[in-house]
Amino acid sequence: MLQVALAMLSMLALVVVLFRTDWYVTAFCIAALLALQLYGLVYFVERTNRDITSFLESIRHSDFTQRFPAHAHNSTFGHLYKSFNEISDAFLKIKAEKQAHYLYLQAIVEHIGIGILSFDDDGNVILENHVAKQLLHVPYLTNIRSLERVSEQLVEVLQTIGNNEKALVTLQHHHEQLLLSVHATALVSQGKNIKIVSLHNIQAELEEQEVQTWQKMIRVLTHEIMNSVTPVISLTSTVTAILEEEITARQDGEPISEEALEDIQVGLKTIERRATGMLHFVKNYRRLMRLPLPELQPVSVADLLREVHTLLKSDFDREGVELATYIPKPDITLEADPEQMEQVLINLLKNAMEACRFTENPRVEVIGGNDEQYKYKVRIEVRDNGPGIPDDVLDRLFIPFYTTKKQGSGIGLSLSKQIMRQHGGSIRVNSKPGGPTVFTLQL
């Protein structure tokens, strides 16, 4: 304000001198002084613009090291510079926190024992850890298309896999074969589509699981075969001894005794029965190993439960067991093979009926509907009020040919589990001593 007032006085003095006197030298001096004053005003305004421009440029380039004098000769500039420095300090703190979070995230990603790969729509790699580099045998990766020399199938899966989808990819590197489980998560960050993919080599786990499965299968087969063959061998020896005695007696002129003939007949019938049992066992084994693929079609859960209820109601009434079926809304459907799903439900309901028929007020409930946690999934429960399943039996419940029934084949639950797997679903059991027992189907 003082500079503006002095400039106005200089302008007034110049006008007075020019129009009232002929003091040209004085007028020139006043004009020169006025020019200097105007230049000072312009410099003052431009200085503010220059400082603001310099500050904004430093922000734009993320350069927060620029400092302004805290104590300026002008109080107005002092407040402005102080605000600039405080804003720079705040941005510098945010940048340091962001860098620390990035280093922390990077350390976590490197610590994870599975491969992590992140890339955008163009295939440009944003993040990768050392496990991914080791699995893919690449020291550095900028774009996923460069993985075509490793596996074209892997590149295709990475480009086409959707959010929360899984896929299996086989990689062959020299003499080593890897089976990668690929799981993707898609998200949008700052307007860009980003895909995060985990790569897990499950070859070793798969081989170990395969060995354990074969060992369990061999133990079951050996147990069943030995249980059938041992009495057959014993009975064959007994029948052979009786025949030898009767042949010797016949050579001595003695007639064949009726008791010996009955023993031989009983022995042969027992051998036949055990051989028939072995034949049924082999047929069941072939049935379990050659389960046809499901023919998927839209199936109403309400119709499915209603048909199974109608089919088994007479059996439950004959055994004195109450069958309660809670039919869900008619709009709840699933993609499934209706015949195979009926078979699963029949197996579970018959098991539940046999489990609770000797309890007081035996009751079996079938409940269908949407899963409460996942609205897009279908959940069917088969619940009985039987005595429950012991823990040692619970662990072996789905093993093929394992059964606690005298007349059971041991393939019902294992067959049901295989059917659910082929449908992309699952079967779970929850039981404790004293009951209840709940089998849950989820698709």
Per-residue pLDDT of 58-73, as tens digits, reads: 877 777 777 777 666 6
Ranges of CATH 3.30.565.10 domains, the chain: 297-442
Residue 124: predicted pLDDT: 92
For domain 297-442, is the CATH number 3.40.50.280? Answer: no
Q: In what order do the strands lie in the sheet with 322-326?
A: 322-326, 363-370, 378-384, 437-442, 426-431
Answer yes or no: are the C-beta atoms of 354 and 346 closer than 8 Å.
no
Ranges of CATH 1.10.287 domains, the chain: 206-289
Residues of the chain where predicted confidence (pLDDT) is lower than 70: 70-76, 173-176, 206-207, 209-211, 213-221, 223-224, 227-228, 253, 256, 274, 277, 280-291, 372-376, 395-396, 399-411
* Fold type of domain 206-289: Helix Hairpins (1.10.287)
Residue 324: predicted pLDDT: 92
Angle of the 24-60 helix axis to the 2-20 helix axis, nearest 10? 150
Residue 221: predicted pLDDT: 65
Residue 207: predicted pLDDT: 66
Residue 196: predicted pLDDT: 92
Ranges of CATH 3.30.450.20 domains, the chain: 112-201
HEC profile for the chain?
CHHHHHHHHHHHHHHHHHHHCCCHHHHHHHHHHHHHHHHHHHHHHHHHHHHHHHHHHHHHCCCCCCCCCCCCCCHHHHHHHHHHHHHHHHHHHHHHHHHHHHHHHHHHHHHCCCEEEEEECCCEEEEECHHHHHHHCCCCCCEHHHHHHCCHHHHHHHHHCCCCCEEEEEEEECCEEEEEEEEEEEEEECCEEEEEEEEEECHHHHHHHHHHHHHHHHHHHHHHHHHHHHHHHHHHHHHHHHHHHHHHHHHCCCCCCHHHHHHHHHHHHHHHHHHHHHHHHHHHHHHHHCCCCCCCEEEEHHHHHHHHHHHHHHHHHHHCCEEEEECCCCCCEEEECHHHHHHHHHHHHHHHHHHHCCCCCCEEEEEEEECCCCCCCEEEEEEECCCCCCHHHHCCCCCCCCCCCCCCCCCHHHHHHHHHHHCCCEEEEEECCCCCEEEEEEC
Residue 214: predicted pLDDT: 65
Question: What pTM value is reported for the model?
Answer: 0.44
> pLDDT digit string (tens) for 329-347?
888 888 898 888 888 898 8
Q: Which long-range contacts (CB under 8 A, 24 or more apart) does 251-255 make?
A: none
- Correct CATH for 112-201 of 3.40.50.920, 1.20.120.80, 3.30.450.20, 3.20.20.140: 3.30.450.20
